[in-house]
Amino acid sequence: MFAAIVVLLASVWFGNCAAEKTICKIDENCTMNCASDDIIDLESSTDCKTIVVKLLKSNVDVWQKLKRYPIEKVVMFQQNDLQNIDDLFKETNIKKLYLYQNNLTELKTGTFDENKPFETLALNRNQIKLLETKSIPAVKTLYLHYNLIESLNADAFVNISHVKILRLDNNNIEKITAASLMGLKADYLDLSYNRIEYLEDASIPEVKHIKLDNNKLASIDSKKFVNISYTINLDLSYNRITQLSENSFSGMLNLTNLSLSNNLIASLDMYSIPTVKNLNLSYNLITFINTSMFEDIDYLMSLDINYNCIKSTDFHLINMNVSNQKDNETCKLNRKDTSKIKKFTSNLMIAIFLMLTLILVGIVTAIALRRYAESSTYNLKNDETTRGTSNGKTDDIKMVSID
Ligand X SMILES: *[C@@H]1O[C@H](CO)[C@@H](O)[C@H](O)[C@H]1NC(C)=O
φ, ψ for residue 343, nearest 5 deg? -60, -40
Q: Are 287 and 311 in contact, with CB atoms under 8 Å apart? A: yes
Which of residues 304, 310, 317, 324 is near ligand X by CB under 6 A? 304
φ, ψ for residue 333, nearest 5 deg? -60, -45
Chain mean position to CA 295: 27
**β-sheet bridge partners, residue 75:** 9, 98
x/- contact string, 239-278, with ligand X (CB under 6 A)?
--------------xx-xx-x-xxxx-------------x
x/- contact string, 103-132, with ligand X (CB under 6 A)?
x-----------------------------
Alpha-carbon span 216 to 192, nearest angstrom: 10
Q: Does 226 bind ligand X (CB under 6 A)?
A: yes
CA distances from 326 to 73, 128, 262, 310, 314 (A): 50, 43, 14, 9, 17
* β-bridge pairing 73-76 and 96-98: parallel
φ, ψ for residue 245, nearest 5 deg? -105, 170
Which of residues 302, 313, 334, 379 is near ligand X by CB under 6 A? 302
**DSSP character for 271?**
T
- Closer CB to ligand X, residue 2 or residue 230? 230
Which of residues 8, 307, 317, 397 is near ligand X by CB under 6 A? 307
Name the minimum Å distance from CB 355 to ligand X: 40
φ, ψ for residue 391, nearest 5 deg? -100, 0
Which of residues 11, 314, 383, 398 is near ligand X by CB under 6 A? 314
Q: How far apart are the first and last CA of the chain?
A: 127
* β-bridge pairing 206-211 and 233-235: parallel
Q: Give SS3 for 198.
A: strand
Counting residues that bind ligand X (by CB under 6 A) gives 43
Which of residues 161, 177, 245, 379 is near ligand X by CB under 6 A? 161
Q: Are 159 and 184 in contact, with CB atoms under 8 Å apart? A: no
Name the minimum Å distance from CB 318 to ligand X: 12
Contacting ligand X within 67-96 (CB under 6 A) = 80-81
Name the minimum Å distance from CB 105 to ligand X: 9
Q: Does 171 bind ligand X (CB under 6 A)?
A: no
Query: Which range binds ligand X by CB under 6 A, 139-147, 172-180, 222-230, 349-357?
Result: 222-230
Name the minimum Å distance from CB 254 to ligand X: 4
CA distances from 398 to 29, 269, 373 (A): 105, 86, 17
Q: Does 233 bind ligand X (CB under 6 A)?
A: yes
Q: Does 295 bind ligand X (CB under 6 A)?
A: no
Q: Are 59 and 17 in contact, with CB atoms under 8 Å apart? A: yes
Q: Does 58 bind ligand X (CB under 6 A)?
A: no
Which of residues 330, 334, 386, 401 is near ligand X by CB under 6 A? 330
Query: Which range binds ligand X by CB under 6 A, 67-75, 228-236, 343-351, 370-378?
Result: 228-236
Query: Which range binds ligand X by CB under 6 A, 22-30, 149-157, 346-354, 357-365?
Result: 22-30
Comparing CA positions, the residue from 328, 257, 321, 250 lying closest to residue 286 is 328
Residues that bind ligand X (CB under 6 A): 27-29, 80-81, 103, 159, 161-162, 202, 226-227, 229-230, 232-233, 237, 253-254, 256-257, 259, 261-264, 278, 280, 282-285, 290-292, 302, 304, 307, 314, 321, 328-330
